Amino acid sequence: MRNAETLALLGGKPINDKPFQFNNAIGEEERRAVLGVLDRGELSGFIASPGEPFWGGEAVRELQRMFCEHYGVKHAVAVNSATSGLLCALSATGIGPGDEVITSPYTMSATSTVALMLGAVPVFADIETDTFGIDPASVEANITPHTKAIIAVNIFGHAARLNQLRAIADRHGLFLIEDNAQAPDAVHQGRLTGTIGDLGVFSFNRHKVMQCGEGGVVVTNNDKLFEKAALMRNHGEAVLEGFGIDDLVNAIGLNLRMTELEAAVAIEQFKKLPRLNAERQALAQRLNEGLASIDGVIAPHVGEGDRHVYYMYAMKYDAARTGLPRDLFVKAMLAEGLFIRGGYLKPTYLYPTYQKRIAIGNKGFPFTANPRNQNLSYEQGLCPVCERFENRELMITAVMQPPQTLEDMDRYVAGIRKVLANRDALLKMAA
């Protein structure tokens, strides 16, 4: 039945007058854990020299142990951010000038920046239309003799097509790294994300499902990759003799260490992760059910054998079916007090660093170190599927997290119906 209620954008009353709130899962447990660290008096257990302190303090080691146990991996390296984790992971592969890393253009810039920091260059594969992860066919088409690694991003809380990417990496002798910052405890065809690649990277920054302000963890089953990642985390050049390491490639390191305070909070948050995910999943499922009967606004895809953990709720938008341009729909939703965003991020290759090919110094490094420098493409139109979703077909919201309720989800769906029911009035206003 058509809803004739006047839109807020046209002078009516908004359907929602409650401000959107991000979930705050910090509680008494985290407070006690932090006070315990303060009582012990050791705020960081790291020392950049051979010996036990090279591996960090009590809380850092406990967090790493918990990750190994939970994810069934041999090694975990706690770091001060997921960006640092990506740098440690990629560095561990031995990548350097002249090498290429295939990755997604539709994610936070750090996923590709870490390649530049190591003197390599990112090559951007297009995304596919269901998971919004890199398309395996596009990845394979972009492999060259200079390709050394693939960084797959499990975006919005759902796995990329990891099994296909794993097969491609194995077939071509490449490393596969999972940027799992947005998908802790997601599942791909029966396996936890972060464990299918050679290395997986997790994030705990302020708006992740579990958070400790800043922080992350790298996981791997490969002894050598673990060792190299740990060297990058903690000034590896100062401990090589103590390790008896002859391979100096990418052995120099930085201070990418996690503090005991961060680790203490992360431990308590990690214990809550199953509950935090379940709360989001329940709210997201209510949205899924509500969108099932709305033409042109499509709920997130969940693959067979997969588990979505809904870091963000990513909807497809079909203007041909709704009869409204996406950005006008978004404007009307925001006026109704309903949090939504058209698109996600500008494709990474359109940033000035890639358009001008200026990254480290002012002479074009590391692009100039690549044998294919003149043929590297970062032009608009490079990844048409990604650009189409960003410009016209993707909408995201974070309303599916506590303290929002099931009733709030119903109100959100009602708001979508209200906007679409007033299509003609909106189009008249926009004319």
151 Cβ partners below 8 Å, 6+ apart? 86, 90, 101, 102, 103, 104, 111, 112, 177, 178, 179
Residue indicated by tokens 């692009």? 367
Which residues of the chain are modeled with pLDDT < 50?
A: 1-3
Other C-beta atoms lying within 10 Å of the C-beta of residue 292: 10
Q: Which amino acid is at 321?
A: R
Sort strands 147-153 and 175-179 into parallel, antiparallel or unpaired: parallel
Give all domains of the chain, ordered by start, each with its CATH number. 28-269 (3.40.640.10)
pLDDT, position 247: 81
Among candidate residues 391, 427, 420, the one with its CA nearest the CA of residue 321 = 420
Sheet with 121-124, edge to edge strand ranges: 75-79, 216-220, 199-203, 175-179, 147-153, 100-103, 121-124
**CA 190-315-193 angle, 5° bins:** 25
pLDDT in tens, 340-388: 999 999 999 999 999 999 999 999 999 999 999 888 999 999 999 999 9
What is this structure's pTM?
0.96
Phi, psi of 176 (to 5 degrees): -115, 120
Length of the chain in residues, anyone?
A: 431
DSSP helix/strand/coil, 420: helix
Q: How far apart are CA 158 and CA 162, in angstroms?
A: 11
